[in-house]
Amino acid sequence: MKMSGVPFCDSFSTTDTSYIRQNGSFTASLCRFSTFIFAANQFDFALIHLDTMTASLLAGCAHLVLLICPPGFELFIFPLLQDTENGFFMDVNKQVSMVCSQLAQDPKLKGGYNAMGFSQGAQFLRAVAQRCPSPTMKTLISVGGQHQGVYGLPRCPGESSHICDIIRKALNDGAYTDIVQKHLVQAQYWHDPLNDDLYKKHSLFLADINQERAVNETYKKNLQLLDKFVLVKFLNDTVVDPVDSEWFGFLKTGQAKETETLQESVLYKEDRLGLAAMDKAGKLVFLATEGDHLQFTQEWFKKNLLPFLH
């Protein structure tokens, strides 16, 4: 269903009770599985909703929408996928393919667009950039995305607890089976450093977009078309494990304690995805903010992210 041409900026007031406030900041927790695209063409901004969201979840993200609606700008919203459950159970590759198809058919995007993804929506959007160069994605903002995947659980008691390892093992025993890979979204970016060969062979989504099995030169070329790739890391994140994944870092292969940065990784050293070249060209932007997963102040958003959408 499309609602093209429906103004959205004035749909919510700044006193809307759907906003979630915690200690003077607001959280985008309801937007956790959300992806937005801001079109940069004849309209000042257009908003396309990529990931799965119901009307109530969209209302929960209203505050974010208001922040990117300066006076005189019109914002248009286009819901692409209608079932919130798709954010948990629909094959990510299928979701990306559907999004690419709709983007290519929308004439309003032919001039290119800027994109912002929240949490898992960020790595889904990166797949769009790598696989679908037309229309052109100009800027990609990843807000708490897990670009090297996860090997932990939300609110897990911590590395000192054996519970984490027990549950990890239980998930890993089934995470790379064909049926789980195709039907559980979170399994599609589950990254087990203790079973690297298993991950590389059976991960249907993350291993592919991260060039783990082979280098797809098209992916590499397309990602480098970005003018800017902004990566936001939450320093007190209790959801993403390891949090280094938000900056393309991860656990060193063969163990689950020590981490390495993007710059220390094979992905960067061999420049399998073009990130090293982008870094040298000044296209990579690493931002950090205090707070838990997807929690930041309005002032921080306006100062650090909004400029990339103009």
- 25, 34, 119, 265: the catalytic one is 119
Q: Which helix (H) or strand (E) holds 200?
A: helix 196-202
In SS3 terms, 81-94 reads as: ECCCCHHHHCCHHH
Q: How far, in Å, are 163, 212, 288 from residue 293 at the CA level?
A: 22, 27, 12
**174-180 long-range CB contacts below 8 Å, 24 or more apart?**
176/201, 176/202, 176/203, 177/202, 178/202
Give the 3-state secondary structure of residue 198. helix
Specify the pairing of strand 137-143 against strand 113-118. Answer: parallel
- List, in order, residues 6 or more apart from 173 with CB less than 8 Å away: none
Residue 112's Cβ-count burial label (10 Å; 0-12, 13-18, 19+) is middle
Catalytic residue among 106, 237, 244, 292: 237
119 is an active site residue: yes
Catalytic residues: 119, 237, 293
